[in-house]
């Protein structure tokens, strides 16, 4: 939904800032219910912080694994470029990093493998 750059998700259904392709697909209440309840992993399997085997990305690990498998299925070109990017994030997270050389200084660092005309994320770190 960030493609349109609206500051709040409710604005997609607002009468003055309505985005038809979003508002016609589902109701605002349905969207909020999905956001509130989406889970990719069983929370009972969570290994507590500080114990061996703890994974900070436990809740989204299946989604990340699926994405990485899909990205690796894309054929590679002969000319490749590796770049690091910051996904802006202002909230609280142990994974958030600071890089003063980037326009958006705080966020999640990801590495992007770019081929001619196609940019795909190969490593999420």
Q: Cα dist. 37→65, 85, 112 in Å?
A: 20, 29, 30
Residue environment code for 64-94, b if the CB has 16+ CB neighbours within 10 A, otherwise e: eeeeeeeeeeeeeeeeeeeeebbeeeeeeee
61 near 95, Cβ under 8 Å? no
The answer to whether position 10 is within a domain reads: no
Residue 57 counted as domain residue: no
- The whole-number pLDDT of residue 109 equals 87
φ, ψ (nearest 5 deg) of residue 39: -140, 140
What global pTM score does this model have? 0.60
Residue 117: the pLDDT is: 64
pLDDT in tens, the chain (125 residues): 667 888 888 999 999 999 999 999 999 999 999 988 888 888 888 899 899 999 888 888 898 899 888 888 877 777 788 888 888 888 888 889 998 988 888 998 888 877 766 555 555 55
Indicate whether 119 belongs to any domain. yes
Question: What's the rounded Cα separation, in Å, for the pair 36 and 59?
Answer: 14
Residue 115 within any structural domain of the chain: yes
pLDDT at 76: 75
Give a yes or no: residue 30 inside a domain: no
Instruction: Answer for the pair 89, 60: CB distance below 8 angstroms, yes or no.
Output: no
Which residues form the domain of 86?
74-125
Question: How many domains, in total, are found in the chain?
Answer: 1
């Amino acid at each position: 939904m960030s493609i349109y750059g609206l500051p709040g998700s409710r604005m997609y259904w607002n009468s003055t800032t309505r985005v038809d392709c979003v508002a016609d697909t589902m109701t605002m209440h349905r969207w909020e219910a999905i956001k509130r309840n989406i889970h990719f992993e069983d929370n009972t399997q969570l290994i507590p912080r500080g114990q061996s085997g703890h994974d900070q990305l436990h809740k989204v690990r299946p989604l990340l694994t699926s994405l990485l498998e899909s990205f690796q299925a894309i054929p590679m070109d002969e000319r490749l470029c590796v770049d690091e990017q910051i996904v802006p994030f202002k909230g609280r997270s142990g994974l958030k990093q600071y890089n003063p050389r980037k326009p958006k200084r705080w966020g999640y660092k990801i590495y992007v493998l770019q081929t001619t005309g196609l940019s795909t994320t190969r490593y999420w770190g």
